Amino acid sequence: MSTIDDLPPLRQVIADHALSARKSLGQNFLLDLNLTAKIARQAGDLTACDVLEIGPGPGGLTRGLLSEGARHVLAIEKDIRCLPALKQIAAAFPGRLDVINADALELDPLAHLAPPIRVVANLPYNVGTELLIRWLTPKDWPPFWQSLTLMFQREVAERIVAKPGSKAYGRLALLAQWRSEAQIVMHLPPGAFTPPPKVSSAVVHLTALPEPRFPANPRILEQVVAKAFNQRRKMLRAALKGLAPDIEDRLTQAGIKPTDRAETVGLEQFCALARLMES
């Protein structure tokens, strides 16, 4: 039986399995196992958790998660070429790693996971943002996940944690911060990846709050925020004109000046406005 010590270095894994990086799959691999263990540690205590890893590739982060003690890892990988390398890892951690060859945007992994569940991923940025929005807007709250630890392009990471008044502040910040605690926990230069991407990256850690910070109907809040930031340069009385004939009054009641722009309005005020839009 193979053990963790028998696993070859990741550069060799890539050579052995001819895993030349494919741009179409956003493949920028992490080959430094000290770094992947450090990322795994940002996800918190994994020993009592199932971890959902999206896009394991040759398995650098997967090894980090397992060696940091994850109870069980379910890894979803679209590229069939990565499966033999992942099989080797599964053999070194008996019963602790399952791999599904699928597109993470198509598969519902919940049947294969037991709570508590943490999500960890180094994904292509477009897929990562789409999954993040899905994970932040489930039908019911609290969601299936306890935390999300995700690699993003630095600029996207900054949009997730942005505060009012900054250029990065918008729909993503509000969605993320309404029902979770979001923090950038690591910065990575392009050279941390093989091949290096054009831009810097950052790891964002989001912890689900048991309750939203302020009450609001999720569907209405999302609608108000989307409309407000769709025309972020406009005053809110103009940007939200279509929502209600008396929008100026409702803005005022929510503590927002009708002449304010979306980027200066905080979460609490957006939630107050969403509640007023229900009446």
Choosing from 40, 43, 54, 117, the residue that interacts with ligand SAM (CB under 6 A) is 54
Nearer CB in complex with ligand SAM: 120/273: 120
User: Would you count residue 68 as binding ligand SAM (CB under 6 A)?
Assistant: no
Nearer CB in complex with ligand SAM: 106/140: 106
> At 122, is the secondary structure helix, strand, or coil?
strand
Query: What minimum distance in Å lies between the beta carbon of 200 and ligand SAM?
Result: 14
Phi, psi of 28 (to 5 degrees): -125, 105
User: Would you count residue 61 as binding ligand SAM (CB under 6 A)?
Assistant: yes
Partner residues linked to 101 by β-bridges: 77
Which H or E run contains 228? helix 218-230
Nearer CB in complex with ligand SAM: 52/271: 52
Task: Give the Cβ contact number of residue 152 at 10 Å.
Answer: 22
Query: What minimum distance in Å lies between the beta carbon of 127 and ligand SAM?
Result: 5
Query: What minimum distance in Å lies between the beta carbon of 38 and ligand SAM?
Result: 12
Residue 145 CA to residue 122 CA, distance in Å, equals 17
3-state SS, 164-214, equals CCCCCCCHHHHHHHHHEEEEEEEEECHHHEECCCCCCEEEEEEEECCCCCC
* Part of the chain binding ligand SAM (CB under 6 A), chosen from 51-59, 198-206, 222-230, 253-261: 51-59
**Which residues, numbered 128-147, are part of the site for ligand SAM (CB under 6 A)?**
none
Here the tokens at position 276 are 């007023």
User: Would you count residue 25 as binding ligand SAM (CB under 6 A)?
Assistant: yes
The binding track of 88-127 with respect to ligand SAM, each residue x by CB under 6 A or -, is ---------------xxx----------------xxx--x
* C-alpha gyration radius of the chain: 21
Choosing from 13, 30, 74, 89, the residue that interacts with ligand SAM (CB under 6 A) is 30
Choosing from 50, 68, 77, 263, the residue that interacts with ligand SAM (CB under 6 A) is 77
- Order the strands of the 72-77 sheet from edge to edge: 97-101, 72-77, 50-54, 117-122, 147-153, 201-208, 180-188
User: Would you count residue 76 as binding ligand SAM (CB under 6 A)?
Assistant: yes
Q: What is the DSSP letter of 130?
A: H
Nearer CB in complex with ligand SAM: 23/233: 23
Residues found near ligand SAM in the complex (CB under 6 A): 25-30, 54-57, 60-61, 76-79, 82, 103-105, 122-124, 127
